[in-house]
Amino acid sequence: MCPFECEALQQLRLYRAQKAERAVQAARRAQRAVESEVEQARIAVEQARQHEEQSRTALLDEHQGQVLSPRALMRWNEAERTLTAATAREAEQLQGLIEQRREQGAQLERARERAAECLRQVEKIRVLAEKSL
């Protein structure tokens, strides 16, 4: 391989390595963003659980010692189901974000491997160019 070919190939490989490194940086930024969203979702789930517990306690205090009609029991049951559904929605969102974080981590690892492979190729071309001189 002539020096000109080696230099052109080395520049191409270096460009690919730089592009791969930019992909790693973008994956890191995306992972940090997902981490932030996961933390916010955890806080939201905890707040929803606390709200649910406080509301259940308030419902119990409101009706404690009373004889309730079937209609009042149905309203109480509906209120509890609504509270539970809100907490479940928050928890479901959190699980989705945790899965997204896992996928983002895998994407970051693939980007790192690609960048490392590109750098190895650059080094191989550099060694080959030195030998051909």
pTM of the prediction? 0.77
Dihedral over Cα of 105, 109, 114, 115: its sign: positive
- Of 5-9, 101-105, 115-119, the one with minimum mean pLDDT is 5-9
Distance between CA 34 and CA 90 in Å, rounded? 16
76: domain CATH number? 1.10.287.1700
Question: Residue 6's closest CA among 127, 131, 125, 133?
Answer: 125
Higher pLDDT among residues 55 and 68, named by residue: 55
Range of the domain at 71: 3-132
| Inter-residue contact 59 to 79 (CB < 8 Å) | yes
pLDDT for 20: 96
Mean pLDDT of the chain: 92
